[in-house]
Amino acid sequence: MSDKLREQMNANLGAAQDEQLFDKAFSWEPKKQHQFILSMADTGIPAYLVKASGKPSIQNGEVPLDMVNIKRYVKGKSEWDAITLTLYDAIVPSGAGAVMDWVRLHH
């Protein structure tokens, strides 16, 4: 390997030799796309009753601006999509009771 190429190596690898590159490749953990933190603080539903949840997503609208010969688009209103939430129905505290209390408070 040339000296110029060695200087351009990633700083995270440090002064690793060619045979050590494979070992260094697994010393970090990649970002996982399926993990996020769900907080249920203001609902009265304990967070440990959550079995599964959909990933939150947002749709950004667009607003066309018509000029003489040009059409430009700017960001419009944003709208959150609905998520699906699956809860455990524990005996104590009651999962169904916690959901029913939340519905009574908000509707």
Kindly give, in sequence order, each residue whose CB lies less than 8 Å from that of residue 36, ignoring residues fewer than 6 positions away: 55, 56
**pLDDT computed for residue 41 by the predictor:** 77
pLDDT tens sequence across 79-95: 999 989 888 888 888 88
Q: In 3-state terms, what secondary structure has residue 50? A: strand
**Higher local confidence (pLDDT), 55 or 65:** 65
Q: Which two tokens stand for residue 81?
A: 């999509």
* Maximum alpha-carbon separation in the chain: 71
pTM, entire model: 0.50
Residue 65 phi, psi dihedral angles, 5° rounding? -115, 110
Residue 76: pLDDT band by 50, 70, 90 thresholds?
very high
Is the pLDDT assigned to residue 72 strictly greater than 90? yes
pLDDT tens sequence across 28-55: 666 666 666 677 778 888 888 888 888 8
**Gap between the Cα atoms of 92 and 57, Å rounded:** 32
Question: What percent of the chain is predicted at pLDDT more than 70?
Answer: 65
